[in-house]
Structure 1
Amino acid sequence: MSAEPHATLPPVRLPSDAELARDALVAPLFARAVRLARWAGPDTRVDIGGELVAAQLTEAAAALGFDAADEEGPVLASQAWRVAVDTGLVDVTEPEDDGEEESGTALPGEDLALVPAGAPGEVLGLWLAALDTVLADAAVPDLDGLVDALDAGGEIDFDQLDWNPRREADFLDGVLANLYLLTVTERGASDRPVPLPVLAASMVIPQDMSEPTDAVLEQVSDAMMRLDDQFRQLEPIGLVEFRPVDEALMAEADDEELAAGSVAGAADDEDVSRYGMVRLTPLGLYGIRARMLEAGVVAPAVGELADKGADALLDAVSDYPEGAAQAEIEQWLTGRELPAAVAELLAAARGADEGGPLRRLRCQQALAPAGPEAEPAVRAVLDDPELGGLARVWLSERGVADVPAPDGAMVFWLTVDTIAAQLAADGETVELPLLMESLTAHHAGFFDQVWRVEHPATAYVLEAMGRLHPDRKAAKEARKAAFKARSRQS
């Protein structure tokens, strides 16, 4: 799958391998491939390339339960057979080139035994091989004009056909990568289908284009029609759930009207279901992630850090959206002795590096659901200059008695650390100015003292407060304090 190497995506939440394997086995196309593999025998004949001879397609369709009058049966049988061959569910012996043998033979392959008896990972490996075949087929356009595109030597003239195989495969990879990102991004609803126009526009309309031109709208329309055909092919393998473009809608509008209407409908949050809707299934998320990992993309999954140390956990979840970070932390805590786990988390949260504030925020998040068992480990860091404020907050929130009051230096340090963590986690959100106002409102002369705080992010935080603090006078004082902090650091 084409992707930028070393890019990091938000973590995905996946069912267990056993659940995914069950989904794979009931995917219609994969299930048909298994049935044909079991049907294959000594009398099965194949052409060059392992395709069933024409006379046997009807028999294969019948084996799949299609009536002889069903014109779609042989087509679906041919697709399922190709998957069976490519995945190793069927072993074929092709006819010799010398012409002595008119056809080759096919028998059930060794990998067929993995279907009833293999481990979930082995079943998923077969399904991934089937997915590769289906994706390759989906990247091939409608070849009605193939005969006209043959040159004098019988080779395909791709220029005349206007089809570049690599370009088509990259386009589909890009669409699926965008769909994956929309699904795993926390602000997107993973169980909500994505309108087809949104995907088409993501591949065609430049990000800096405020108003699409007619030419661009026509490209969006072409992309929608291409995706409509491709997702119809991808649904039977269990990759997506798909609602095709309404055929009546296509008859009502020309290309430009279709694209303009779909883009406008998506922007106005109108009912765009007639323009097509698509959603990656859990199995689809698994499959696209597997392809991304193979391409060198960092595509984490929730639960992967369960056997890692607290330092690796906090470093990783620092880059996660809040919900995914919480889910990963909960899985990490499961099965661990809580007092020891809390002590390990607190130790990993220390550090004066740039990532320290966000590690401490995630550590605080991890400790939030902890009960009385965690108290001894938390009390042990009350005098720690980096963790003492966090410990006091945790103990106070639980109504614990005799919590020592923090001194002024700790209060200012914790304020800087908290704002630095929020900036690292979410950037300059609309809620951040309110947090700044709340943290500074109860400290007279706050900006006269905070610039002296021995925290690596002091100047950075004060500069942000100078931009964002809702009180103009306080914002001005923050900018002056930031200048002093920078000068002090220099």
Structure 2
Amino acid sequence: MSIEWVNRAVDDLRAWGQEKDVEVDVDEVRLLCDYASDYLEVNELGDFRPGTFEELLLEIYPRKVIAPPESAGETVAAARTLVEFLVDTGEIGAKTADRIRVALDEIEPEMPAALADTSKFGMAKSIFSAIDADSLDLADPLAVQRAVDELDGLDEDACDCPGCAPLPAVRLASPSEIAHAVREVPLLRDAHQLVMWMTEGGRTATVKKALRVKDAREAERELGVGRPGLAWRLALDLGLVRLDGTAVLLEEGFVPLESRDEEDLLDLWAATVEFLIEAPVEITGNEAVDESVYAVHDLLYRLQVPVPPDSVGEYLRELAVGERVEGVDEALERLVYTGTVHHVDGGVALTPHGLWGLRELYLEIGLEPPIAADLAEGDASGLVSGLITSGLPAEVAEGDIDRWLAQRTPEQAAAELLGAVVGAPAEMRGIAVTIVDRLPAEAESAVTHCLDDPELRPHAIHWLASRGLPAPALTQDELLWVSVDMLALALPAAQIDPDGFAENMAVSGPPPHLIEDMWRVEHPDVVEVLELLGNTLPDKITAKAARKAAFKARSRSIR
């Protein structure tokens, strides 16, 4: 990341600090200069302007740097030191320095909120922030930042391996389902078809073992082979064919794709994924994608949700240290041809066999990617806790819930779910109540039984009343309690996506007069809920009411 002018500037700054007896945070200033060079076209010290620092500290730092909000003061202080150095050495004039100082005065109170705003996080920072840093055994903030930079591709010596970050649990398709899908992979079909066509036609390879241009064109035209060059390289790598000089011969024991058994197909596919990830060949024709094939697949494996092409492009841009990345949509379409990814809901995701194949690659290099348990096979407690901790994609979790419910009558399901969360934290209770809310009136007896439990009672009243069944009226205290309880369920998601939470609250959140009284509720999460509302609600009056209520709730607990 560092270039010559940055190295010289840091050396000069260090010498200047010693001469002037000024304490200089060299690491922080280097980071300022590096990011200014990489993202803001600052090519020398004299290029720094007020707008440079605004972009750096309020946009680039929040997107790239993992740092607590309270560290903003240290960064701004380093920026001020840099300004004094620039003035003293004649790199900038006095008027420019004055404008920068004014800008830094305005930036300083805003920067903590910018560092805490998860909506500003770049893709790589978001992924790293979701990982337990303790698992990386990083002892200091600078080490953490270096790890983020490596993930972003900012360190030229960064390792290309998956890293130390723990992999999420995944749900795999059955071997028979994977084998069936492998038979339909276009690239594998083309590789087998091309081998038969080459050998039966007595065609030859080049002295460099490549497919002849003429043969590639004919294969594309006559056979409909999508990417002849890639299919040929794969055929050689998989040992489907061997060469005697330039003569092309079927490998002994060659078996057509459609005739292979399940075990053979799984082995073939594992080798194919390894080829696509590790072989130095052109996979899509897009340099940025081809140089980051592993990174793209690893990203999709970790997120387990469809990722829009624009977001993939942003991630690749970060890996390429700010270089322009174009043609990602077309490259991903070509990647679909390989069978590892597919289009889903406006984005791309790993195919079930792509997920399986990437996990096999992880195992091959010594990692132990966990398998998510089938939540439908457990009891109510296992279902609820699994939905919280497994990190399963929504569609997989929904399938588990549906299959779990299908094995029980509505009354049995409600009794088990509600019984499992008596005295449990709000998040577990909220998950159980949300599932019970799907059940029809046949669950009435089990829900009515919960009217005797003070924490479940408000939820039970709401469930019964919404179905027109006999139910006592909610008291004001119960209404307040259930409001806090359901908001407590939203805390984890709100911390990840505060903007989305704010939008939902703007449409269906509690009114100001209800929020004002929430501080009275005897709920363990009331302070955290009110602080969240105070920091995220778009309506200033309602947000202020939440902050006042949070203060009262904290004061009450102190007394």
1:74–1:320: structure 2 CA closer, same or farther, 3 Å change rule?
Answer: closer
Cross-structure match for 1:486: 554
Cross-structure match for 1:314: 384
Q: Which has the higher contact order (CA 8 A, sep 6+)?
A: 1
Q: CA deviation at 1:457?
A: 0.4
Can you list the C-alpha shifts for 1:277-296, whole angstroms capped at 9, x where unaligned? 98456356535763686486
Q: CA deviation at 1:383?
A: 1.4
The one-letter amino acid of 1:194's match is: P
Cross-structure match for 2:236: 82
Quick one: distance in 1 between partners of 2:210 and 2:526?
A: 76
Q: CA deviation at 1:429?
A: 1.8
Q: Which secondary structure does the structure 2 equivalent of 1:306 belong to?
A: helix
Cross-structure match for 1:437: 510
In structure 2, the gaps of 5 or more residues are: 1-160
The one-letter amino acid of 2:165's match is: P
Within 5 Å, give how 1:20-419 maps onto structure 2. 20-34=178-192, 75=229, 78-85=232-239, 106-108=251-253, 112=255, 116=259, 118-119=261-262, 123-137=265-279, 171-178=292-299, 184-185=305-306, 194=309, 199-205=312-318, 219-221=323-325, 224=326, 234-240=335-341, 279-280=348-349, 282-283=351-352, 285-287=354-356, 290=359, 294=363, 304-318=374-388, 325-352=397-424, 356-401=425-470, 403-419=471-487
Can you list the C-alpha shifts for 1:358-402, whole angstroms capped at 9, x where unaligned? 33333233223312332222122121122112211111111112x
Quick one: distance in 1 between partners of 2:433 and 2:223?
A: 66
The one-letter amino acid of 2:338's match is: I
Q: CA deviation at 1:455?
A: 1.4
| Alpha-carbon contact 1:52-1:78 (below 8 Å) kept | no
| Alpha-carbon contact 2:362-2:368 (below 8 Å) kept | yes
Quick one: distance in 2 between partners of 1:471 and 1:235?
A: 44
Quick one: distance in 1 between partners of 2:330 and 2:546?
A: 57
1:201–1:322: structure 2 CA closer, same or farther, 3 Å change rule?
Answer: closer
Q: Which secondary structure does the structure 2 equivalent of 1:364 belong to?
A: helix
Q: Which secondary structure does the structure 1 equivalent of 2:478 belong to?
A: helix
Quick one: distance in 2 between partners of 1:232 and 1:351?
A: 50
Quick one: distance in 2 between partners of 1:171 and 1:337?
A: 50
| Alpha-carbon contact 2:276-2:283 (below 8 Å) kept | no
The one-letter amino acid of 1:108's match is: G
Quick one: distance in 2 between partners of 1:322 and 1:68?
A: 43
CA RMSD of aligned residues (A): 5.3
Q: CA deviation at 1:320?
A: 6.1
1:229–1:452: structure 2 CA closer, same or farther, 3 Å change rule?
Answer: closer
Does residue 1:2 correspond to 2:162, yes or no? yes
Cross-structure match for 1:247: none
Can you list the C-alpha shifts for 1:47-91, whole angstroms capped at 9, x where unaligned? xxxx99989989xx89x9789999999856742432432xxx68x
User: How many pairs are equivalent?
Assistant: 378
Quick one: distance in 2 between partners of 1:337 and 1:375?
A: 12
The one-letter amino acid of 1:380's match is: H
Quick one: distance in 1 between partners of 2:220 and 2:516?
A: 79
1:170–1:335: structure 2 CA closer, same or farther, 3 Å change rule?
Answer: farther
1:464–1:432: structure 2 CA closer, same or farther, 3 Å change rule?
Answer: same
TM-score of the two chains, using structure 1 as the length reference: 0.58
In structure 1, the gaps of 5 or more residues are: 96-101, 143-162, 207-214, 243-276
TM-score of the two chains, using structure 2 as the length reference: 0.52
